[in-house]
Amino acid sequence: MTKAIRIHTNGGPEVMVWEDVPTPEPGRGEALIKHEAIGLNFIDVYFRNGLYKAPNMPLIIGQEGSGTVIAVGASVANLTPGDRVAYAGPLGGYATERVISADRLVKLPDNISFETGAAMMLQGMTAQYLLRRTYAVQPGDTIVVHAAAGGVGLIICQWAKHLGATVIGVVSNEEKAALARAHGAAHTVIGHATLVSEVKRITGGAMVPVVYDSVGKDTFMTSIDSLAPLGLMASYGSASGPVPPVELGLLAAKGSLFLTRPTLATYTAKRSDLDRVAADLFAVVGSGTVKIQVNQTFSLKDAGAAHTALETRKTTGSTVLIP
């Protein structure tokens, strides 16, 4: 047997139950891994509360982790027991051991710890595709980043600065503002009520070519109003709830804007994309250009408390669960 956090129904943090589950066997193309650390992400909250539909019940939530390969199934050529690995994507993470498609595992470089690996795969690869592909940030760009002191947010702030951008980070309090500035945000705005006027002031009226918005419902319109003509609204999360349906004419009226709702799954669906995005992340983390701030650590069995902290905006940076 192995231990896991499972949900049997959707609801609050209390629906997560720490229980025995049979140790899975790796099938063809799969690997059995022993987790050393598991990443906590907002998507875990969406699967728990039902915003995202559970593919089955009971469900082991969690989509990010690092650990050691224990066994491999048939046709797995790229991995052997003992390999240090990490992943982001497939559900089933909140467990001491899990089976996963070998095609989704990447080898963790020796200079990156298990804890950092678990903290950064999902949030860091998200920052990578947002900054390098959804909108390829250029030196001299000024950009808006919501939840700038959060997991994805702190990584974006550092990486965008490294790419030569000026980051305007949006946060909810002064402590988070200081943290975002310490990680590369040139400007911070507390709350989004003054965002549009601040963007106008900072850019001399030009506004910004891209807004990275993970807050969703509450900030959608202020983000749209912060964009320059032909700007891109990258609405990549729903921490405050999903964005209601958008009237396409709004994009015309606000200056021929572009709107995308990207996901990491699409950007890493091909193995070649996964390898490229992960290698780019390993390079900036390995060189120290981007530091992964693991600011909270919980026991896996206390995942409920971790969810409460994340949902009540008590966390900063990344959070890991230790089995």
Residues that bind ligand NDP (CB under 6 A): 41-43, 122-123, 126, 147, 149-153, 171-172, 176, 214-215, 218, 236-240, 262-264, 310-311, 313, 315
What are 298's strand-pairing partners? 321
Q: Is the peptide bond before 58 cis (omega within 30 degrees of 0)?
A: yes
Instruction: CB nearer to ligand NDP: give 32 or 284.
Output: 284
- Residue 147 Cβ, how far from ligand NDP at the closest point, in Å? 4
Closest by CA to 319, choosing from 291, 297, 301, 290, is: 297
What three-state secondary structure class fits 154?
Answer: helix
Extract the tokens encoding 37: 């650390």
10: Cβ contacts below 8 Å, ≥ 6 apart = 48, 49, 50, 54
CA dihedral of residues 265, 266, 267, 268 (deg, nearest 10): 50
- Residue 319 Cβ, how far from ligand NDP at the closest point, in Å? 8
Instruction: CB nearer to ligand NDP: give 113 or 240.
Output: 240
- Residue 131 Cβ, how far from ligand NDP at the closest point, in Å? 12
Instruction: CB nearer to ligand NDP: give 189 or 257.
Output: 189
How many Cα atoms within 13 Å fall on the side-chain side of residue 130? 33
Cα(165)–Cα(213) distance, integer angstroms? 17
Length of the chain: 323
- Residue 55 Cβ, how far from ligand NDP at the closest point, in Å? 18
Instruction: CB nearer to ligand NDP: give 137 or 310.
Output: 310
Instruction: CB nearer to ligand NDP: give 3 or 104.
Output: 104
Instruction: CB nearer to ligand NDP: give 30 or 298.
Output: 298
- Residue 71 Cβ, how far from ligand NDP at the closest point, in Å? 30
Cα(127)–Cα(111) distance, integer angstroms? 20
Geometric angle at alpha carbon 291, from 290 and 295, rounded to 5°: 145
Instruction: CB nearer to ligand NDP: give 15 or 51.
Output: 51
- Residue 52 Cβ, how far from ligand NDP at the closest point, in Å? 10
Which residue in the block uniquely carries the two structure tokens 């390999």? 83
DSSP string, 61-118: ---EEEEEEEEE-TT--S--TT-EEEEES-S--SBSEEEEEGGG-EEPPTTS-HHHHH
221: Cβ contacts below 8 Å, ≥ 6 apart = none
Instruction: CB nearer to ligand NDP: give 23 or 172.
Output: 172
- Residue 236 Cβ, how far from ligand NDP at the closest point, in Å? 4
- Residue 110 Cβ, how far from ligand NDP at the closest point, in Å? 26
Which residue in the block uniquely carries the two structure tokens 């091909």? 270
